[in-house]
Amino acid sequence: MKNFKKVLALVLVLASLLGLATMAGAATEYKDADKINADYTEAIKVLDLIETMQGYPDGNFKPTATITREEAAKVIAIFDNKDADISTYYTSINPFTDEKGRWGESYVGYGYRAGIIAGMNATTYAPTANVTGTQFLKMALVTLGYDQEKEGFVGTSWAVNVLALAKKIGLIDDLADGWKPEKDLTREEAAQILLNALNAETVEYAQEAKSADFKPTTNADGAWVFKGKLYLTVAGAVKTGNKLYKDFDLKKEDSTDAFYRPYTKWTKDNVSVEIMKAPKVTFTKKFSACELLVALGVKESDTKTKIFIDKVYCDGDDTVDFDDYDIYDDAYKNADDEAYWKHGNSNCPDATGAKHGAQGTLTQVFYNGKDADGNKHYTITSIETWLGKVTKVTNKTTAHDNHVKSDGAVKLNAYFNNLQTLEENNYDYCGKMDEAGHTGHCAALENANDDGVTELTFNDPTGLKKDDYVLFTYSFRTLDDDGDKTDDYECVQTVDVTEGKNGRLSGYKFGTSAGSDPSETRIDSEYVKDSQHFHMGYDLSKTNQYGTYTFFYDAYGNVIGMKDAADSSNWAVIDRAWVTFENKGTAVMNADVVSVDDAKTTTSTVKKFTDITDYIEAIEESINDSSAKNFAYDLAVYLKNLTNGEGYKDFDPIYDHLFKVSTDKDGVFSVKVAKNSDGEYVVNEYGDLESTDDTIKTVNGKPYLEIKEGDADADKSISLTSNTKFLVHNMDGTYSAYTGYKNVPSLIAHYAEVVFDSDYADKFVAEVVYLTKDVYTTDSKVVAYVGNGADRSNIEVVEDGDTYYNLTAYVNGEETNVYVDEADMKAYFDKKADSFVAGFYELQYTEIDGVKTAKVTKNFTASTDDDDNYLVDPVEAEYFNGTVIKIDGTTYALTDDCGLFAINGKKVEKSSASEIEDLYDDFDSFDDTNDDNENAHKVYVALNDKDEATAIYIKLAVND
């Protein structure tokens, strides 16, 4: 309890004199955290946790600020007087004139009277001068229970005695190299000294029990017999076996993370902070054991000092089971060619060739402590970084009661390809590691899933979105700290977004030998070292295919990926193209380009059309290689009948196709046929621009395209997403753009071009869809009845260039003039009867040049499909009450606006529910499904996609 009072006094003093606000709860995140020495992070967080040494009201910790002599005097006074209040008691005996009237006058007076402190001279104390490290160590020793008189903390040798004892019990451990105890102490250094004090044992002054020749044995009966002597000595300060931190009700747990890096977890009042122990040395490239020794302060010429490497881990994998670096067979052999075990001790002369780490691999060396002989022991951990791409993000979801339904998840594709050239010229981390068959970490990750897919998962979607390129780490650790099997670690550990930067590939070079120096990539005019895991684009980077690419870099500045430069072009179609002659006859190609993004049309000149020969097959290859100046002229010569820029139809072969179009600073187009890196087309065609035999259908809200080739069954294998972009070429010549399957209307087209998402190419997920060729929306389709001998006449729509026929039909019971095109008129014309075939038709209206035309989208009368509508043949109505109708055992509800009609000859009239019920009551004449029986009423029913009746037609018997 005596020591606890001193601890409490220290808490109160520091909280008051260091300008600190008490902040409860989790560890404080200081605004100036980036200015705190990483070696002192644990100390600052722990002292914040116990509310002893915290930040200033402005949110900063001020790690390099100093502590004054006056503040130090107060600490010492309270140490010695425990919790007694001496704030005014010793004011009268203070001899220093510069302390008169100051808040610390009594504390300084006490220190002077006790001989603990001295002034600058007889009358000057210098209260605002800074306290030194030695002075603060003295305070910490008093906190632990050491007596200043008995330990020689007073007198001329006080500083020597303080430093000797502080070093002995570890109070100056983990202070920065080069720390000078005589210099002014900073706040972060003070925090480290206090943390060391918390980890030290408290002491008391008492006699200590010792033994001499104390050798227990057993007699013939098996009983223990103790011989020797026990005696008491005057020992001075005796360690109590109690660590000071326990007096603060602190709990301390030492553990390791997924990569075996040492962590310490401190907990107080159910609030915890977890801090990784600061590494002694960090590398991000390959290094030798000799370089490690030098980094740890051992001179290269030193043949005596040795270090012990207890463990070497790579990605949480204990390398004692395999040789990470077996291509260095001679790395650990001494001058006598004797094998030298890498996990034993090591010095520069014996291990000049021993290598660890790799370019772009974070290797950290942690100090484990000294053995009984004073040798230092270390653990080496390496963490590799790979490049990946996010393919899916599922965000955290909660229920109405804030219960977490899903924590969210991320899926990413990892890049492990292009290994051959990489492994031929770089340090082998990816291949087979040793003869025992240990699999390299690239290969292990590639087979992480049973199906061999390189898709990995991560459990934190924060800040991530689909298509992000990311740097990720992975742990293969399978054992907990007790050595028991666990699956808590083996997974992706970190994911960080990395932005690609464009640069010009202009060269490359390899190291002096395989596995020696890393290869390098020349970007613009500078050589940049390649990461050990530069897989995406590595082989291409080591060719002479120079040009602009997008490069990705790891956290250490190495190249870790390369791909084609970010494509600034956009998907678009060419609506019209023509040639004009300018500047004394120079031919210029012009085009109206329609963007997929917004359906806007932009008119400009075209300076280049890459691979136009893919669409105009007979054109000479020389045109494709024409200069920007001669391109349009060469094209104009080939495309005949160009007259004064009006021959736009000569460019028909390039209309209604998706191209990648970019625009320069002057607004001039460059058009190219889209291909992948293998020269394969990325645009897929469905249907035929010259025929309407095939149909491509979208249904609003349905995540698929429905493609029907002729009479074949519909194919729904092409998936649509909320990000799929649609460009629709309407029948009136306009364009419409939509994004997402929930926003695109229900449409039917006869030709489509689809670009698949490259990340899901094998799964047919559409990124872009272009629909054209007689496109109509099925959202506004109507069912019409055409009677026998319906009137017809013709009209020509000039703009469209086609002839349409005026046909009298009944839509929603109203006599309506509809204009059907010549193709439909021919298809459904009965020459023998000299009239349009009577029956039910599905029509789609489209306005063309002011004329409302109607496209026949379905002929129910001639349909042979298993159609959901009952318009092909009359049906048997088993029940009808005005709100529902029962057909073939199935009851269908009527929509609120369900049309009720009576067909009398070639005319259709609106009916009512009561009239139909009256007809239904005449049961014998209402259930005849024989269409040829003219003496019975016939029932036809139209249904919508929800299986609701939208129209009911009663074809009256002839005698009615």
Q: Which of 57-71, 150-164, 724-738, 791-805 has the lowest mean pLDDT?
A: 791-805
Output the pLDDT for position 79: 47
Question: Going by C-beta distance under 8 Å and a sequence separation of 6 or more, which residues neighbour residue 185?
Answer: 66, 67, 130, 131, 132, 133, 135, 136, 193
Report yes or no: 408 and 460 within 8 Å, Cβ to Cβ. Answer: yes
Q: Are residues 753 and 791 in the same domain?
A: no
Burial label for 226, CB within 10 Å (0-12, 13-18, 19+), is: exposed
Per-position DSSP letters for 365-397, written without gaps between them: EEEEEE-TT--EEEEEEEE--EEEEEEEEE--E
Q: Average of pLDDT values for 54-78?
A: 81
- Distance CA(34)–CA(38), nearest Å, equals 9
What are the Cα distances from residue 959, in Å, to 567, 877, 939? 73, 21, 16
492-497: strand order across its sheet: 455-458, 409-414, 386-394, 469-474, 492-497
Question: Going by C-beta distance under 8 Å and a sequence separation of 6 or more, which residues neighbour residue 848?
Answer: 731, 732, 797, 799, 800
What are the Cα distances from residue 437, in Å, to 317, 323, 395, 476? 15, 11, 40, 16
Q: Average of pLDDT values for 762-771?
A: 88
Domain boundary among 337, 363, 383: 383
- Distance CA(122)–CA(131), nearest Å, equals 19
| Assigned domain for 649 exists | yes
Local confidence band at 582 (pLDDT 50, 70, 90 cut-offs):
confident
Local confidence band at 171 (pLDDT 50, 70, 90 cut-offs):
very high
Run of H or E including 161: helix 158-168
- Distance CA(349)–CA(358), nearest Å, equals 22
Taking 90 as the threshold, does the pLDDT of residue 228 lie above it? no
| Assigned domain for 258 exists | no
Q: Average of pLDDT values for 94-112?
A: 88
Output the pLDDT for position 223: 66
Local confidence band at 533 (pLDDT 50, 70, 90 cut-offs):
confident
Local confidence band at 301 (pLDDT 50, 70, 90 cut-offs):
confident
Residue of higher predicted confidence among 780 and 837: 837
Q: Are residues 347 and 419 in the same domain?
A: no
| Assigned domain for 176 exists | yes
Of the candidates 677, 660, 878, 691, the residue with the CA atom closest to the CA atom of residue 770: 660
Q: Average of pLDDT values for 191-206?
A: 89
Of the candidates 15, 457, 387, 442, the residue with the CA atom closest to the CA atom of residue 194: 15
Report yes or no: 123 and 117 within 8 Å, Cβ to Cβ. Answer: no
Q: Are residues 136 and 40 in the same domain?
A: yes
Output the pLDDT for position 438: 40
Local confidence band at 788 (pLDDT 50, 70, 90 cut-offs):
confident
In DSSP terms, 469 is beta-bridged to 389
Name the CA dihedral angle for 98, 101, 102, 107, rounded to a multiple of 10 degrees: 90
Burial label for 241, CB within 10 Å (0-12, 13-18, 19+), is: exposed
The rounded radius of gyration (Å) of the Cα atoms in the chain is 43
Report yes or no: 416 and 454 within 8 Å, Cβ to Cβ. Answer: yes
| Assigned domain for 561 exists | no
- Distance CA(858)–CA(842), nearest Å, equals 5
Q: Average of pLDDT values for 380-388?
A: 91
Output the pLDDT for position 167: 94
Output the pLDDT for position 925: 45
pLDDT digits (tens, 9 = 90+) for 130-161: 989 998 898 788 778 888 888 998 888 989 99
pLDDT digits (tens, 9 = 90+) for 242-289: 888 888 788 999 899 999 999 998 998 888 888 888 899 999 988 877
Report yes or no: 590 and 580 within 8 Å, Cβ to Cβ. Answer: yes
Q: Are residues 735 and 805 in the same domain?
A: no
Q: How many Cβ atoms from other residues are within 10 Å of residue 824's Cβ?
A: 22
Domain boundary among 711, 746, 779: 779
Taking 90 as the threshold, does the pLDDT of residue 899 lie above it? no
Taking 50 as the threshold, does the pLDDT of residue 931 lie above it? yes
Q: How many Cβ atoms from other residues are within 10 Å of residue 291's Cβ?
A: 20
Q: Are residues 926 and 937 in the same domain?
A: yes
Handedness of CA 725, 468, 501, 766 (dihedral sign): negative
Q: Are residues 903 and 810 in the same domain?
A: no
Name the CA dihedral angle for 824, 828, 831, 834, rounded to a multiple of 10 degrees: -90
pTM comes to 0.55
| Assigned domain for 534 exists | no
Local confidence band at 588 (pLDDT 50, 70, 90 cut-offs):
confident
What are the Cα distances from residue 247, in Å, to 41, 84, 145, 328, 821? 22, 19, 13, 52, 95
Of 74-78, 230-234, 550-554, 839-843, where does the model show the most confidence? Answer: 550-554
Q: Which domain holds residue 352?
A: 281-383
Taking 50 as the threshold, does the pLDDT of residue 433 lie above it? no
Run of H or E including 784: strand 782-786
Q: Which of 371-375, 390-394, 448-452, 909-913 has the lowest mean pLDDT?
A: 448-452
Local confidence band at 2 (pLDDT 50, 70, 90 cut-offs):
very low
Name the CA dihedral angle for 96, 102, 108, 113, rounded to a multiple of 10 degrees: 60
Q: Are residues 315 and 372 in the same domain?
A: yes
Q: Are residues 590 and 704 in the same domain?
A: no
Taking 70 as the threshold, does the pLDDT of residue 21 lie above it? no
Rounded to the nearest angstrom, the gap between the alpha carbon of residue 331 and the centroid of all alpha carbons in its chain is 40
Of the candidates 848, 852, 855, 795, the residue with the CA atom closest to the CA atom of residue 828: 855
Domain boundary among 810, 829, 859: 859
* Structure tokens belonging to residue 345: 């001790």
Report yes or no: 109 and 94 within 8 Å, Cβ to Cβ. Answer: yes
Output the pLDDT for position 702: 85
- Distance CA(323)–CA(339), nearest Å, equals 14
Local confidence band at 553 (pLDDT 50, 70, 90 cut-offs):
very high
Helix%, strand%, coil% for the chain, nearest 5:
20, 40, 45
Output the pLDDT for position 412: 87
* Structure tokens belonging to residue 715: 């194919």
What mean pLDDT value characterizes the chain? 77
Q: Average of pLDDT values for 751-772?
A: 85
Report yes or no: 875 and 929 within 8 Å, Cβ to Cβ. Answer: yes
Q: Average of pLDDT values for 497-512?
A: 88
Q: What is the three-class DSSP state of 684?
A: strand
| Assigned domain for 241 exists | no
Residue of higher predicted confidence among 888 and 597: 597
- Distance CA(563)–CA(548), nearest Å, equals 9
Q: Are residues 348 and 428 in the same domain?
A: no
Residue of higher predicted confidence among 520 and 781: 520
Residue of higher predicted confidence among 431 and 47: 47
CA geometry: angle 847, 685, 716, nearest 5 deg = 85
Local confidence band at 11 (pLDDT 50, 70, 90 cut-offs):
very low
Q: Are residues 131 and 161 in the same domain?
A: yes
Run of H or E including 906: none
Taking 60 as the threshold, does the pLDDT of residue 937 lie above it? yes
Output the pLDDT for position 3: 46
Q: How many residues does the chain have?
A: 960
Q: Average of pLDDT values for 798-815?
A: 73
Of 292-301, 405-414, 451-460, 529-538, where does the model show the most confidence? Answer: 529-538
Q: Are residues 709 and 694 in the same domain?
A: yes
- Distance CA(434)–CA(551), nearest Å, equals 33
Local confidence band at 598 (pLDDT 50, 70, 90 cut-offs):
very high
* Structure tokens belonging to residue 767: 């990124």
Tell me what percent of the residues of the chain surpass a pLDDT of 90: 18
Output the pLDDT for position 794: 66
pLDDT digits (tens, 9 = 90+) for 651-700: 778 889 999 998 877 888 888 888 876 677 889 999 988 887 888 989 88
| Assigned domain for 10 exists | yes
Report yes or no: 364 and 311 within 8 Å, Cβ to Cβ. Answer: no
Output the pLDDT for position 725: 95
- Distance CA(526)–CA(519), nearest Å, equals 13
Local confidence band at 9 (pLDDT 50, 70, 90 cut-offs):
very low
Taking 90 as the threshold, does the pLDDT of residue 573 lie above it? yes
Which position has the token pair 């914040």?
48
* Structure tokens belonging to residue 79: 């140490």
Output the pLDDT for position 774: 81
Q: Average of pLDDT values for 869-898?
A: 79
Report yes or no: 590 and 645 within 8 Å, Cβ to Cβ. Answer: yes
Provide the number of structural domains found in the chain: 7
User: Left, alpha or beta for 418 (phi > 0: left; psi -120 to 50: alpha)?
Assistant: left
| Assigned domain for 273 exists | no
Q: Are residues 31 and 121 in the same domain?
A: yes
What is the distance between the terminal CA atoms of the chain, rounded to a whole angstrom?
Answer: 113
